[in-house]
Amino acid sequence: MRLAGQVVVVTGASGIAAAGARRFASEGASVFIISIDGDQCRDLAAELGHAGPVGWSAADLTDEAATVSAFAACADRFGDLTGLFAVVGASGRGRGDGPLDQVPLEGWRHTMDINTIPPFLAAREAVKLMKRRDGGGSVVLIGSISAMHPSQYFVTHAYAAAKGAAISLTRSLASHYAHDRIRVNLIAPGLVETPMSARAASDPATVAYAREKQPLAGGFLDPADVAAAAVFLLSDEAGRITGQVLEVDGGWGVTEV
């Protein structure tokens, strides 16, 4: 029960976000889910209801007014906010993300928007609520191993740039809000088996690559692996840790393939 008494907002309702919500609830947190898919929010909230207090709001996290409204709903439901697990983001491959010389401007803009606006808005609204209380709080952003350890097997330059921006955001926020006792850290996962990676996970060549590149996982990571790291960063056990990037990558960053 490492998160007993905490209120944690989770952005997203599938994959890593859902795994986080489940783990946080099992550790005693009250969980508030925000995602664009209302059905997924409702189903996940219903699943978690037996574990403790839970709430949800359907919102497009690239929309400022919708995001503000969702966090206001969390404040109405729970009063306080102690943690944020900001997961929402997406691949830009469908809009042309790939090698830089082949990326259209619209694809670049879309990929940057969908991966930088949600964490910006979610962190902004979370920090506002955390500053209302004396105890501070913990913000955990989700980045990607691709921002630090690029691979010729996965070439998505807009996505890597967006996730690199998340690292800079993490460190600058951690510096500014340390005196408010608000900690900000980032988890950089390797290849994780989620709905976003379904196409890659169904490709035998990619599966074989992941098996070699992430030997500690024997292939794709489980979303629960990322959730376990998030519990630590949200908990008091990490109370003296801020501005850090934690690579949960099964060995990706130190393995040559």
pLDDT in tens, the chain (257 residues): 999 999 999 999 999 999 999 999 999 999 999 999 999 999 999 999 887 899 999 999 999 999 999 999 999 999 999 999 999 999 999 999 999 999 999 999 999 999 999 999 999 999 999 999 888 999 999 999 999 999 988 899 999 999 999 999 999 999 999 999 999 999 999 999 988 777 777 788 889 999 999 999 999 999 999 999 999 999 999 999 999 999 999 999 999 87
Give the bridge partners for 33, in sequence order. Answer: 10, 56
pLDDT in the model for residue 149? 95
The number of beta carbons lying within 10 Å of the beta carbon of residue 179 is 8
Find the catalytic residue in 153, 159, 177, 209. Answer: 159
pLDDT of residue 195: 81
Query: Can you give the pLDDT at residue 135?
Result: 81
- Can you tell me which residue has the tokens 């209801």? 49
Whole-number pLDDT of residue 52: 80
159 is catalytic: yes
pLDDT at residue number 30:
97
Here the tokens at position 81 are: 């906010």
H-helix segments, 131-255: 157-177, 198-201, 204-213, 223-234
The pLDDT value given to residue 179: 96
Looking at domain 7-251, does it have CATH number 3.40.50.720?
yes
What pLDDT does residue 224 have? 97
Residue 37 is predicted with a pLDDT of 96
Is residue 123 classed as helix, strand or coil in its secondary structure? helix
The predicted model scores a pTM of 0.95
What pLDDT is stored for residue 7 in this prediction?
A: 97
**Residues 119, 43 contacting (CB under 8 angstroms):** no
